Amino acid sequence: MKHRGRLAWLLALVCPLAAGAAVAQNQGQAVRVKLERAAAREPALRSSAALVWDATGSSVLYARRSDVAMPIASITKLMTSLVVMDAGQPLDETLSITAEDVAHRRGAVSRLTPGVELSRGDLMHLALMASENRAAHALGRNFPGGLEACVAAMNAKARELGMTSAHFVEPTGLSDENVASAEDLSKLVMAAAKVPAIREFSTDTSYEVQVGRRMLTYRSTDSLTSKSDWDIVVQKTGYIAHAGRCLVMQTVIDARTVVIVLLNSYGKRTRVADARRIRRWMQTYEQSHGDAPPAAPAVPAATAAPAAT
């Protein structure tokens, strides 16, 4: 009887401990499975079209409607700057803003009034960093052969880079006839990233220019350039009604060079939020698997968000 009593006592003590250990083990496995599933899931982006290109591994990590040409707004200014640099025009040459540079279009605001004189380098800096439309138009107007020659050079450069769906009609991005696919824009971003001046100007956080007796301060249209936890090589934002909010960049994530293209994002802050989601998705996968997410096929167009108006 004494032995039976001791046995019952031991069972009463051990069984709850064993059950608790089993529950803890099951919970641990559940957490691991949850992390792996979260890492394998594609990022929940709110951009109508997107592409994540791992330049280090030469693979597409994520794609949504990446082959569809759509308006690109001020992403255009990357191509404008690229052909100006290709033409070898001196950045220290002084150019004037004229009435031709004033876009009579709703929402096209500028502090550069006709008569303002700035260097070509200053104008390119403002066009890339602050998306200054009159600055970009002045760059195109002062291209060798004029505005028409500049647009022709932009389209020729697109063909040279293999941008098969890209088409440009002017140098600012205010026209919704400037179009390209996310795949095309990844090629443009990588080409722009090879030009030191474009890298420097596009990733600056603020810049001052002297206009007459005044100093005008401009700030980047991309809030990520001021974040110390981002390593951005080149970037450009864009917005017009038909294009929605756009963002392209070449950045470094966990020692990998990555090109991110986001077109027609919903809301003013969504393109930045989508970029953060992509980085978090890559880092979570890296932590769980020790490598970047595997190459992925394009997401069918039917799963993409509807285009904004």
Q: Which residues are tagged catalytic?
A: 74, 77, 131
Cα dihedral across residues 118, 81, 98, 105: positive or negative: negative
The pair of structure tokens assigned to 303 is 């799963």
Amino acid in the structure at residue 30: A
End-to-end CA distance of the chain: 84
Residue 24: C-alpha distances to residues 20, 32, 33, 288 (Å): 6, 12, 14, 20
Rounded Cα distance between 258 and 43, Å, is 15
Q: Which residues of 91-110 are buried (b: 16+ CB within 10 A; e: fewer)?
A: eeeebebeeebbbeeeeeeb
Rounded Cα distance between 278 and 284, Å, is 10
The closest of 72, 61, 56, 49 to 188, measured between CA atoms, is 72
Asked if 47 and 145 count as a contact pair (C-beta separation under 8 A), the reply is: no
Rounded Cα distance between 78 and 259, Å, is 14
Residue 210: C-alpha distances to residues 70, 99, 123, 217, 269 (Å): 37, 20, 12, 9, 31
Asked if 304 and 65 count as a contact pair (C-beta separation under 8 A), the reply is: yes
